[in-house]
Amino acid sequence: MSQPLKPHRSGPPHNPGVRELVEGKRRWSSPAKPEDARQGFRGWNERGYLPHRDEPGLTQFVTFRLTIHFLNRSVLNGVIS
């Protein structure tokens, strides 16, 4: 007899390292100002994925590393030309 399937858990993946990182950043950084918090800004936070700081006027960026070095050189030359 087979085991019943576990229901798929919706939401972010389990990543305790991200939570610990955000908690550490909250300890040493300035907390969100009360007026910013009332407007919905959360300071350092995460949803199981990338940690980020949410505050008014803050510019953020994400860097993606592409893995094109795995491509065959002849394939790459065909794509570029």
Residue 8 lies in a domain: no
Could you tell me the two tokens for 80? Answer: 């570029």
Q: How does pLDDT run across 26-53, given as a tens digit for each residue? A: 999 888 889 998 998 888 888 777 888 8
Nearest to 54 by CA among 40, 67, 68, 65: 40
The rounded distance, in Å, linking the Cα atoms of 44 and 36 is 13
Q: Give the residue with greater pLDDT, 48 vs 7.
A: 48
The pLDDT value given to residue 27: 92
Domain count, the chain: 1
Residue 54 lies in a domain: yes
Q: Give the residue with greater pLDDT, 3 vs 14.
A: 14
Residue 40 lies in a domain: yes
Owning domain of residue 27: 16-80
Q: How does pLDDT run across 52-74, given as a tens digit for each residue? A: 888 899 888 877 776 666 556 66
Residue 10 lies in a domain: no
